[in-house]
Structure 1
């Protein structure tokens, strides 16, 4: 075991342009990157891939895009420009959480990036949410498809694997918060999760860097039985940095128990906003063009975990949301600087 895995500068912002949105554009040009940023990217471990949660943000003008584009244009045409940023070697496809994607949609994404790029993909909520929810997110009734192994294979793993091919990095089953009365049924639910993971096809023949990862939003999952289910099926734990979950130091025992292995981490939300603070963070940080609330403690802890994992030759996938610090690309720059020259 690598000790550095578990051992113990003000961020700059760039102004947005005042030019009108290029709403009719069908191509998106990448922003020019300084030679120092390119050198920084080249200094990072080869096994480390940093990226963001989705990419359709006009506020990233001059950071990722060279111009003001609408979010709809960026959603459709921006991925190629995104993938040309020297530090952005992965991205989380989040839209698959809301509606399953088909092989053609995954293949279209794969065609827009280079051979070294890898995708992190969220499983549909139809599989990972115990409740059927209305448009406001309120649970209405139990979800009969929750943790259904056959449907997970058919509607998620097989289409992603066929469409993305070797560019598949991590398939993340993010299990939504459980209804309170379900928390007393964890042994049964973990057994059901185990059966799902055991039914999934091996990714390695098609996607050598591919890994199945499980992210949870209730700490009640973090038990020896949960670890045993992951280990027995070759899956890993996705470290979710979110106020619903304990800080990194308290999630590390799961990674210790699964070591050696890859690291999948999703930095979702700054803890200052609390467990239900997505809307507060969105309102405060939009248009996501600067760091508003640098989370130095989380960043430092994450750097240590990344350094230990990548330093041991294991693959690392870390994706950041704008709601972590205010601007995901700037967060990645600061994270990369800390990895290159740790305090």
Structure 2
């Protein structure tokens, strides 16, 4: 019951006639429901050119970012000023309205395992054809227990524990996200030297972990397990590259290309994909090479608030566009997640990459 009606009933003497019905709400008030029932966050309206670009992309391609909580994306993804806390809580449904953003990497799961209900909430906030890329918790993917500053303190007894990987990651994700899973990514942190020296042993532990996981396809037909590494020895021919590919193939998993200064260039990671072909493409573009392998904090300080491109990388755009069109032209899915630290602003990088993909010649599109 509105205050106006309460005043009419209780606030005045009975003699005067009742006031006329209130006038229609002004246009500004009529538009208010577009803000998603008062959550205080609104999606940025996109121009026709962006919608047209999205329609020119292969349907198997899903582009997205690493998380969605950046206030600096005002005018790109969000309309108006919003806090990180607001966006963390209410930003995902609006992120998913952007015509180019059809996936997102859930990175918070790396720091702490998520519950089924948390995954269910994410799934309920996005369209039916949206797909998630989810990082496994460091509980099972980091060989070291680390302090808050990231320094390794001691060996991690749960590293590559197959049971924990299943109960704390794969099963909850399958139950909560269902068919909206794109890739469940085991990102193996840089190994200490004593483990790099015994890489074949680590590979066999990874093999056991992957083989112990439930099948993804019956619940998520587009989903796949993927392994991302941060030591180049994993993919070098004279180390265990071929054996690594064989383990992934045996487990029905794939290799996640990592565009990061710690790893070889994209062209040098392609043999892993060729060894697993045919199959989907999973790629995470994480950090611009200008910052070096340990330049994350430097990039963070330079690029905030992540609203513009600082270091364009046309070589990676062109190479990745060719790879995407070849993979999707053969009918395979491609999941590409891009960090703000790739060039300075993930939404702007995604638009440039989409333009490169759309401009590929027909021969490249056929793979």
Tell me the TM-score range normalised by the shorter chain. Answer: over 0.9
**SS class of match (2:305):** coil
Tell me: higher relative CO, structure 1 or 2? Use CA pairs within 8 A at least 6 residues apart: 1
Q: Does 1:317 align with 2:335?
A: yes
**SS class of match (1:40):** helix
**SS class of match (2:279):** coil
- CA offsets per residue over residues 87-141 of structure 1, 9 Å max, x none? 0000000000000000000000001001010000000000000000000000000
Asked if the contact 1:194/1:229 (under 8 Å) is kept, the reply is: yes
- CA offsets per residue over residues 5-59 of structure 1, 9 Å max, x none? xxxxxxxxxxxxxxxxxxxx73421100001100100110000000000000000
Aligned partner (choices 72, 77, 90) of residue 64 of structure 1: 77
Give distance in 2, aligned partners of 1:220 and 1:56: 34
Q: CA deviation at 1:206?
A: 0.9
Give distance in 1, aligned partners of 2:256 and 2:221: 18
Give distance in 2, aligned partners of 1:325 and 1:155: 33
Q: How does 1:281-300 map to 2 (within 5 A)?
A: 281-300=299-318
Give distance in 1, aligned partners of 2:266 and 2:234: 15
Give distance in 2, aligned partners of 1:45 and 1:202: 27
After TM superposition, which residue ranges in structure 1, 4 or more long, deviate above 2 angstroms?
A: none
Asked if the contact 1:267/1:320 (under 8 Å) is kept, the reply is: yes
Give distance in 1, aligned partners of 2:154 and 2:49: 53
Give distance in 2, aligned partners of 1:205 and 1:254: 26
Total equivalences in the alignment:
320
Q: Does 1:103 align with 2:121?
A: no
Aligned partner (choices 139, 149, 168) of residue 126 of structure 1: 139
Aligned partner (choices 227, 235, 238) of residue 214 of structure 1: 227
Aligned to 1:165: 178
**SS class of match (1:324):** coil
Q: How does 1:1-343 map to 2 (within 5 A)?
A: 26-222=39-235, 223-342=241-360
Q: CA deviation at 1:342?
A: 3.2
Give distance in 1, aligned partners of 2:205 and 2:285: 27
Give distance in 2, aligned partners of 1:219 and 1:256: 17
Give distance in 2, aligned partners of 1:70 and 1:312: 42
- CA offsets per residue over residues 189-221 of structure 1, 9 Å max, x none? 001000100011111111110000000000111
Taking structure 2 as the reference length, what is the TM-score of the superposition?
0.86
Asked if the contact 2:325/2:360 (under 8 Å) is kept, the reply is: no
Q: CA deviation at 1:228?
A: 0.7
Q: CA deviation at 1:254?
A: 0.4
Asked if the contact 1:54/1:94 (under 8 Å) is kept, the reply is: yes
- CA offsets per residue over residues 143-194 of structure 1, 9 Å max, x none? 0000000100000000000000111110000000001121110110001000
**SS class of match (1:228):** helix
Give distance in 2, aligned partners of 1:151 and 1:181: 24
Taking structure 1 as the reference length, what is the TM-score of the superposition?
0.92
Give distance in 2, aligned partners of 1:318 and 1:82: 16
Asked if the contact 1:100/1:155 (under 8 Å) is kept, the reply is: yes
Asked if the contact 1:120/1:169 (under 8 Å) is kept, the reply is: yes
Greater C-alpha radius of gyration = 2
**SS class of match (1:213):** strand
**SS class of match (1:269):** coil
Asked if the contact 2:257/2:269 (under 8 Å) is kept, the reply is: yes
Give distance in 2, aligned partners of 1:248 and 1:85: 27
Two-structure CA RMSD over aligned residues (Å) = 1.1
